[in-house]
Amino acid sequence: MPKKTAKEPKLDKTKFPDAYIAGAGTVVEESITDTLEKNYMPYAMSVIVSRAFPEIDGFKPSHRKILYTMYKMGLLTGARTKSANIVGQTMKLNPHGDQAIYETMVRLARGNETLLHPYVDSKGNFGKAYSRDMSYAASRYTEAKLSPICAELFNDIDKDTVDFVPNYDNEMMEPTLLPAAFPSILVNSNVGIGVSMASSVCSFNLEEICNTAVALMKNPDHNAIETLKGPDFAGGGLMLYDEETLEQVYRTGRGSIKLRAKYEYDKKQNSLIITEIPATTTVEAIVEKVIQCVKDGKLREVSYIRDDTDLNGLTITIDLKKGTDPEKVMQKLFRLTPLQDSYACNFNILVHGYPKVMGVYEILDEWIKFRVDCVRRRTLFDLSKKKEKLHLLEGLEKILLDIDKAVKIVRETEEEAEVVPNLMIGFGIDEVQAEYVAEIKLRHLNREYILKRTKDIEDLKSAIAELEDIAGSDKKIKSVIIKELHEIVKKYGQPRRTEFFFASDIAEEVDVDDTPDFNCSIFLTDSGYFKKILPNSLRMASEQKVKEGDYISQQRETVNRSDLLFFTTGANCYKTKVSAFTETKASAMGDYIPAKLSFDEGEEVVAMANTSDYSGYMIFVYAGGKVAKVPLSAYETKTNRKKLTGALSLKDKIIAAIQIDDNCEIMLRSSNNRALIFDTALLLPKTTKSTIGVQVMSLKGKAEIINAEKITAETAEGLKRFRCKAVPSTGSPAKDLPDPDQLTL
């Protein structure tokens, strides 16, 4: 794109010597894609890197800042403090609103029951992860401290194990990562939504994940399924054990884990009691879905459902009707409600500042590399400290040779500043050693004290040699990590909460339609009102009640299980079932279809079709004289779709939509008072629903079709002069026929 520049505005440099900037005010045109790349991409990366995704230590920046603040507040070993205090202190590292910080802390808390191993030991109401409506209390009411397992996150953080960076206002330092001594990234679940990508990491049992990490350090070809049985969720429940899916998740980081609720059957109360639900849903979502299914007639075995969750934990009670098989009801509940759901794994994790989707194998490999680096840095830190101590003790050892000489040097030195240099000269030690010796108290200038201090020199040399050996060998560092992992498992390991079920153990019930089937009559009025009336009620009725100016336009005998199709002026087909409507009486107005089926604004009903097997055809007659013959099977769908677009043509005004079971004769009337009877066998079926069909009646001038109706063979025989043997045809004059408005379908 050619660049155009506007004339640079003039500025009096004498009056504003510091205000003049070369190129200021210049307007440069550039491609919008370049603008988006320069302005939006940095923002997108900032969201991904600084907010949404966890890093290899298992934490997002917001989590890390909260936990580190609590650690610095002494809440690892101290008593609990008000959550408001923690939130306020965290704002030194996280310059966001206090509510955002508190919400993040709530999810980390034991009381919220989100994490398999909570990092925050909470007191008070922290809400529940399994409830949408159970809100947490304000931060001024709740109290918190760090859970004991956090000791494994912060151990050796002061030994240069991780890098530190200044906070947002350069007032203090904060860690870029926590030196987690166990694979916390896989022990607790983490979900994040970035820009154009997302992350969803499920939790695994601590003992299993640690044992898997140990096995992979010993043997890189280890099969993780042998030690890692599958995800383990804080809310328990049941997981479908499928090795193929697990292998996919372990290798690629993507896959769908099927979860089910855990339930019991109370024979005395004839109730199903749900005690654990999938981690992907809530109590309210389950209750609402069950109620909706009962209203829709899909769960007729259920008489009542209630949420009995209390201080003792989650409980949903589903009361059943007498004579109901609880196992079959439960299978139906699994199919129709979130009591069975899927957890979509997407292990998208930040590694060295870049998002990467990794499987369990690759994540553990990255964690092992990270932990090896932490242990090596810790070892080098300890090594440096021990060397410093050894250096001081070696100086002290030289003093041991002649304590009296040391005392004499100090006494005979006239100026204090000369004490250290004189000791350096007298014993051949460096300045650091001399400073250490000079600071020894007078009471310690005895042989016993000095011997006690110097007898550790050999032990220090041995420890230094061992640390140097460890620091120079990845194999020995891994041995240290393995030992630490075994200790963590002993201290914090717990049994699996999520148990397994197997596809072979469960005979899936076929979803049988238990909707009651009976004969009924259906009616549609010209303005779109629908009635379903039982035969006995219809026999007792004197007349059909309709709005003033309205009339019954269609009437059919059918069964309750059949499908209904409503064609509209918007070229849409709205599908439902006869069973979706309640039985009414002839004296009632009925249901207004556009409102009942949520028509688009301005849409009106053109015609109604009713079928059980989608046999037969739809005949669409358009004002221009064209007629389309579309098989009814074109509107049959495998899924339960409520609305089909492009159900008929919008190229011309629709006059009539007529359902026929087999070929028959149809009579057309035009505005120039001509009529035509044709056999639908003359038309070839069209597979495209939105076809406008073929010309059947040739019209002259501004004439158009004003009426179309299906007629019987007897009626057609009486009007045989209007019959045509081929189409298109102009028809015949129809002056002696009655007004078409008086004809009925």
Amino acid in position 234: A
- Residue 132 phi, psi dihedral angles, 5° rounding: -80, -30
Query: Three-class SS string for 228-263?
Result: CCCECCCCCCEEECCHHHHHHHHHHCEEEEEEECEE
Sequence-distant (6+) residues with CB within 8 A of 238 are: 259, 260, 261, 262, 276, 498, 499, 500, 501
Q: Which residue shows structure tokens 């894609």? A: 33
Distances (CA, A) of 10 to 17, 21, 391: 13, 11, 71
Distances (CA, A) of 644 to 199, 252, 267: 35, 38, 46
Distance CA 581, CA 570 (A): 23
Q: Can you give the C-alpha Rg of the chain in angstroms?
A: 41
Distance CA 722, CA 731 (A): 6
* Burial group, residue 247, by CB count within 10 angstroms (0-12, 13-18, 19+): middle
Contact between residue 275 and residue 314 where contact means Cβ atoms under 8 Å apart: yes
Helix axis angle for 83-90 and 61-72, nearest 10°, is 110
Number of Cβ within 10 Å of residue 277's Cβ equals: 27
Distance CA 392, CA 396 (A): 6
Catalytic-role residue among 20, 40, 43, 141 = 141
The token pair at 686 is: 């069209």
* Burial group, residue 336, by CB count within 10 angstroms (0-12, 13-18, 19+): middle
Q: Phi/psi class of residue 527: alpha, beta or left (left: φ > 0; alpha: ψ in -120 to 50)?
A: alpha
Residue 102 appears among annotated catalytic residues: no
Distance CA 160, CA 384 (A): 11
Helix axis angle for 83-90 and 98-108, nearest 10°, is 120
Q: Looking at the chain, how many residues does it have?
A: 745
3-state SS, residue 549: coil
Nearest to 190 by CA among 348, 35, 336, 307: 348
Number of Cβ within 10 Å of residue 317's Cβ equals: 15
The token pair at 9 is: 């505005």
Contact between residue 500 and residue 241 where contact means Cβ atoms under 8 Å apart: yes
Q: Secondary structure of the chain: what % helix, strand, coil (to 5)?
A: 35, 25, 40
Q: Which residue shows structure tokens 């969720």? A: 233
Distance CA 364, CA 209 (A): 9
Q: Phi/psi class of residue 278: alpha, beta or left (left: φ > 0; alpha: ψ in -120 to 50)?
A: beta
Nearest to 466 by CA among 397, 392, 382: 382
Nearest to 204 by CA among 221, 182, 174: 182
Distance CA 554, CA 690 (A): 23
Distance CA 183, CA 190 (A): 13
Distances (CA, A) of 135 to 84, 119, 125, 129, 317: 17, 20, 8, 10, 22
Q: Which residue shows structure tokens 């009801």? A: 329
Number of Cβ within 10 Å of residue 94's Cβ equals: 21
Distance CA 252, CA 159 (A): 35
Distance CA 438, CA 462 (A): 27
Q: Catalytic residue positions?
A: 141
